[in-house]
Amino acid sequence: MKRTLACLLLLTLCLSGYAQKKFTISGTATDEESGEALIGATIYAKSQQAGTVTNNYGFFSLTLPETDSLPLVITFLGFKPQVKRIRLHENITLNVRLVPGELSLDEVVINATPPNENVERVQMAVVDVPIQKISELPVILGETDILKVVQLLPGVQSGNEGTTGFYVRGGNADQNLVQLDEATVYNPNHLLSLFSTFNSRALNSATLIKGGFPAQYGGRLSSILDITMKEGNNQAFHADGGIGLITSTLTLEGPLKKEKASFIISGRRTYLDLLAKPFLPKGNKSNYHFYDLNAKVNWQLSDKDRLFLSIFRGRDQAEYRASQGINYKILFGNATGTLRWNHTFGPKLFANTSLIYNQYDQDVSAILDNYFSQTITGINDINGKTGFQYFPNPRHAIQFGAEYIHHKFVSGGKSESQKTIDQNINKEKIPTRYFNEFALYLNDEIKISERFSTSLGLRAPGYASNTVSYYRLEPRASVKLSTGKASSVKAAYSVMNQFLHLVPSATGTIPTDVWVPSTERTRPQFSQQYALGYFRNFSDNSVESSLELYYKDMKNQVLFPEGNQLIESFAVDTSLVYGKGWSYGAELFLKKNTGKFTGWLAYTLSWTFQQFDALNFGEKFPFRYDRRHVLSLVGSYAMNPRWTLSSVFVFNTGSAFTLPVGRFPAFYGPSLFEGNYYVYERRNNQRLPAYHRLDISAVRRSQAHLFGKEFQTEWVIGVYNIYSRLNPYFIYLQVDPVTDQPQGKQVSLLPAIPSISFNFKF
């Protein structure tokens, strides 16, 4: 009887709680000066111990019990916090404008400051890429680059020396979905991957997700890099430019209609071809250049509707002709266009609908050691998607939506004894293939108690071509348990499928990788990932730390078979071999966000293996980028408002490559079989020397007034690889034709390289 009474009492308490009237505060958070949406700003009601963050469009929705006085704290890194005191007796629209500035919080605000988002959010394995830090960090030839910063994050490995390719938790480069304003960018690099295609001046935010993927994300196994372009200043016209050693950039932005519509256009072009021309040896010819162009227009149609149109185009063209050594001709480029419509149905329901077009083409031909190789890939996508965010009450944040992609696809390649780099595959012969991807998803982030939250989701992707179709279910789950005011334990499980494959070449020193879609033979890539993490902040959240453990297994991985030689092949997948991979490791992240000294330490200890029945005698072998230790140290010290000093130190275990361990002669001389043959112990049995370098830079800022306008200038002086460590770009073997003696040769690309660049903004 006592138990029944207790239950009734509890029920009454619960009902009374739910019977209390609740209202919703919704709106946007923007930059006071530019009108840009602030993505990931925190809105927190300390008295209710409840909060939320703005979405990719700066929108938020928070439902709370009726009250006469509710202090709301709105914070965003790099902006002065604001406290709004509101009477909550009806649904309220609250559009907040934050002013850029130091985090000099007064006592009231400090007391109200919520625990940092990294501890509080349910999701783990998420890193907000510090866009605002990009311009301060030392980089090659002064070219600021978001992907170079991504490579410095825990769980992320770079590819070869100086490149922007990245590998996340043992996944291949194709397993990263790189999106710019929701449009897929298939190759986010310029030639040699020294620079990414993203002009950092045109970017607003970037988030890297490595695991525990919410259901709205899919299509790749290892990571999502979600990049959002700036919208353009809707208050005043501004120009922002930079003159570097090999490129120049100019960004223009301003209002089309003040506070209602704005534009931004940003372009970059290299002049490396012009600079190098007089110095090339006689008979050698190179015309390498690239450019990229970003543009975006946004229009506030009404209080509830907003329209965005963004376009991006990046293109590389390179040709190098020499009488000896490698000759190559490379053409590739990406183009994307995104039309988005944001609609707020009410204070609790936000919708985003997008129509996206993207195009990628690559045509690479090369001659090396009297052999010719060419690969061609062309992808055209039309993508439509709609997503909803529904906030029924403070305990639920529901996302659901649908997505459809129509792919038009061509790919082929060949490799044979020498012809000329102009004697190409007859592109008209390459058959065009069409196929479709689609997905439905539902995800609910549930706050079960003050300490315990979870995110549960289900994604149902599908794939259909005229010969085969695949349907999959991808459960996603994350849980968070707060273990203190500034600490939490999180766990996550996610299943991912990927219907496109990039077949990496094990031997190529130039980009000869080929994209292939799923077919009956080439089944979709599949992964399961388990992750566990401990998150803790120190010193009033000014220092963040986390330790994450993960295990990921990957199925239906593809590689070229031993001895593969593409003979003008347009059905590349008929010559592939299939296997599996698995990766496990630990990632430590320490980050200091505020104060004169900021920066982070990222250390990853990991193991990654693959196993293919048709390779390496069927035994497991290390993944090419199985690097045991990856350490990044990044620091910036603001000496005063004018000078900032920065430094980056990187250490990686050398990547793996295959080296024969022995030789023996064939006795059938003198026939075509004559020669020395190689004995291989196992694939990827050797390691390149460890990679390490130290970069430094100094930024000097100044302000002046010209014609009544504020004019900001910035000189960035830096040295990349200051102690000129000759890190290996690749190693190859050369056999002396007279002595028959093999010799290892190491090619290093980037010695110490000083740089200087000048940036301006008015």
Partner 1 sequence: MKRTPWIRLLAVLLLMGCEKDIQIDVPADLTSTVCIEGLLYPGESPRIYISKSVPFFDKKVTPQQVFARSATVGITSDAETEVLFADSTFDKFRCRWVPFYHGTTAAEFGKTYTLTVVFEGKTYTASTTIDQKKAVIEDIIYTPEFTDLYGGHDGVNVRFRDASGPGNFYRFQMYRMIDRTVAHAHVLDVIVSDCTGDEEFPITDLGRTIYADTGNDGATLDMLAEVSFEYSQGDSTWVSLQSLDPKSATFYKELDDQLISILNPFVEPVFLKSYIDGGAIGVFGSVVLSDSVLFVYPQDNPL
Tokens of residue 710, six digits: 């504020």
Q: Which is nearer to partner 1, 510 or 631 (CB)?
A: 510
**Residue entry with tokens 């506030």:** 300
Minimum CB–partner distance for residue 617 and partner 1 (Å): 7
Q: Which of 557, 523, 513 is nearest to 411 (CA)?
A: 513
In angstroms and rounded to an integer, the radius of gyration of the C-alpha atoms of the chain is: 27
- SS3 string, 336-347, reads EEEEEEEEEEEC
Q: Which is nearer to partner 1, 371 or 723 (CB)?
A: 371
Minimum CB–partner distance for residue 631 and partner 1 (Å): 24
Alpha-helical runs (H) found in 78-182: 107-112, 117-120, 131-134, 146-150
Minimum CB–partner distance for residue 746 and partner 1 (Å): 4
Tokens of residue 465, six digits: 């071509």
Minimum CB–partner distance for residue 624 and partner 1 (Å): 12
Minimum CB–partner distance for residue 419 and partner 1 (Å): 9
Q: Which is nearer to partner 1, 95 or 565 (CB)?
A: 565
> In whole angstroms, what separates CA 439 from the centre of its chain?
21
DSSP labels, 145-168: -HHHHHTTSTTEEE-STT---EEE
Phi, psi of 325 (to 5 degrees): 75, -155
Q: Which is nearer to partner 1, 149 or 753 (CB)?
A: 753
User: Whole-angstrom Cα distance, residue 609 to residue 630?
Assistant: 17
Q: Which is nearer to partner 1, 39 or 272 (CB)?
A: 272
Q: Which is nearer to partner 1, 64 or 753 (CB)?
A: 753
Minimum CB–partner distance for residue 327 and partner 1 (Å): 13
The most distant pair of C-alpha atoms in the chain lies apart, rounded to whole Å, by: 101
Q: Which is nearer to partner 1, 101 or 751 (CB)?
A: 751
Three-state DSSP class for residue 687:
strand
Three-state DSSP class for residue 15:
helix
Q: Which is nearer to partner 1, 112 or 425 (CB)?
A: 425
Minimum CB–partner distance for residue 302 and partner 1 (Å): 51
User: Whole-angstrom Cα distance, residue 591 to residue 730?
Assistant: 33
Q: Which is nearer to partner 1, 420 or 539 (CB)?
A: 420
Three-state DSSP class for residue 120:
helix
Q: Which is nearer to partner 1, 213 or 623 (CB)?
A: 623
DSSP labels, 362-383: EEEEEEETTEEEEEEEEEEEEE
Calculate the alpha carbon distances from 635 to 143, 205, 644 in Å: 18, 20, 10
Minimum CB–partner distance for residue 521 and partner 1 (Å): 18
Minimum CB–partner distance for residue 748 and partner 1 (Å): 5
Torsional class of 724: left (φ above 0), alpha (ψ -120 to 50), beta (otherwise): left
Q: Which is nearer to partner 1, 469 or 743 (CB)?
A: 743
Minimum CB–partner distance for residue 159 and partner 1 (Å): 16
Would you say the C-alpha torsion 83, 85, 90, 96 has a positive or negative sign?
Answer: negative
User: Whole-angstrom Cα distance, residue 693 to residue 695?
Assistant: 7
Minimum CB–partner distance for residue 163 and partner 1 (Å): 13
CB 223 within 8 A of CB 746: no
Q: Which is nearer to partner 1, 343 or 419 (CB)?
A: 419
Minimum CB–partner distance for residue 324 and partner 1 (Å): 13
Q: Which of 439, 444, 440 is nearest to 390 (CA)?
A: 444
Q: Which long-range contacts (CB under 8 A, 24 or more apart) does 741-745 make?
A: 742/663
Residue 604's identity, in one-letter code, is: T
